[in-house]
Amino acid sequence: MTIKKIAIIPARSGSKGLKNKNILMLLGKPLIAYTIEAALESGSFERIIVSTDSLEYKSISEQYGAEVIMRTDELAADSATSFMVIEDILQQIYDIDYFVLLQPTSPFRNHIHINEAILLFEKSNFANFLVSLSESGKNADLIKPIDLDLSLKFFDLDFSNYRRQNLKEYTPNGAIFIGKKAEYLSKRHFFGDDSIAYIMDKVDSVDIDDKLDFELAICIQNQKNKKNILLKAIHERISEKKLAMDNKQPITLIGHSIFDYWNVEQLNYQKVNNLGISGISTKEYLDFILSQNLITELGDKVVLFSGTNDIVIDGWSQELTLEWISQIVLKLIEINFSIEIYLVSVPPVRGRIERTNESIRKLNTYLKENINALNKVKWIELSSEFYDQFGNLPTEFTYDGLHFSEIAYKQLEIEIAGGLL
Q: What dihedral angle (degrees, nearest 10) is formed by the CA atoms of 314, 400, 274, 229? A: 50
**Residue 49, SS3 per DSSP:** strand
Domain residue limits, the chain: 5-136+168-223, 241-420
pLDDT band, very low/low/confident/very high, at 346 (cuts 50, 70, 90): very high
Distance from CA of residue 213 to its chain's centroid? 19
pLDDT score of 8: 97
Is residue 17's pLDDT more than 80?
Answer: no
Q: What are the tens digits of pLDDT across the range 186-200?
A: 999 999 999 999 999
Q: What are the tens digits of pLDDT across the range 68-118?
A: 999 998 898 888 899 999 999 999 988 899 999 999 999 999 999 999 999
Contact 70, 52 (CB under 8 A): yes
Is residue 147's pLDDT more than 90?
Answer: no
- The average pLDDT across 134-138 equals 86
Q: What are the tens digits of pLDDT across the range 307-324?
A: 899 999 988 999 999 999
**Residue 23, SS3 per DSSP:** helix
pLDDT score of 155: 81
Contact 371, 326 (CB under 8 A): no
Contact 404, 361 (CB under 8 A): no
What angle is formed at CA 217 by the lines to CA 214 and CA 223, rounded to 5 degrees? 150
Q: How far is CA 91 from CA 31, 133, 407, in A?
A: 27, 28, 72
- Which strand (E) or helix (H) includes residue 199? strand 195-199
Question: Which residues pair with residue 342 across a beta bridge?
Answer: 303, 378
Q: Return the higher-pLDDT residue of 201 and 152.
A: 201
Spatial CA neighbour of 103 closest among 23, 220, 207, 221: 207
Question: Which residues pair with residue 68 across a beta bridge?
Answer: 50
Is the alpha carbon torsion for 367, 371, 376, 379 positive or negative? Answer: positive
| Count of C-beta atoms within a 10 Å radius of residue 264 | 16
Architecture of domain 241-420: 3-Layer(aba) Sandwich (3.40)
Question: Which residues pair with residue 404 across a beta bridge?
Answer: 398
Radius of gyration of the chain (CA): 28
* Fold match between domain 5-136+168-223 and domain 241-420: no
DSSP states of 150-186:
---TT--S-GGG----SS--EEEEEEEEEEEHHHHHH
- Identity of the amino acid at 351: G
pLDDT score of 152: 84
Supply the pTM of this predicted model. Answer: 0.73
Beta strands in 56-148 (DSSP E): 67-70, 98-101, 129-135
Q: Residue 219: exposed, middle, or buried by beta-carbon count in 10 A (0-12, 13-18, 19+)?
A: exposed
SS3 of 304-342: the string is EECCCCCCCCCCCCHHHHHHHHHHHHHHHHHHCCCCEEE
**Residue 247, SS3 per DSSP:** coil
Rounded to an integer, what distance in angstroms lies between the CA atom of residue 410 and that of residue 180?
Answer: 66
CATH annotation of 5-136+168-223: 3.90.550.10
Q: Which residues contact 42 (CB under 8 A, 6 or more apart)?
A: 111, 114, 115, 118
pLDDT score of 372: 81
Rounded to an integer, what distance in angstroms lies between the CA atom of residue 387 and that of residue 38?
Answer: 46
Could you tell me where the DSSP H helices lie in 168-312? 181-187, 211-240, 257-260, 282-285
- Which strand (E) or helix (H) includes residue 409? helix 406-420
| Count of C-beta atoms within a 10 Å radius of residue 292 | 10
Spatial CA neighbour of 305 closest among 239, 226, 386: 386
Q: What are the tens digits of pLDDT across the range 215-253?
A: 999 999 998 888 889 999 999 999 999 999 989 999 999
Total length of the chain: 421
Spatial CA neighbour of 178 closest among 155, 157, 202, 196: 196
Contact 342, 250 (CB under 8 A): no
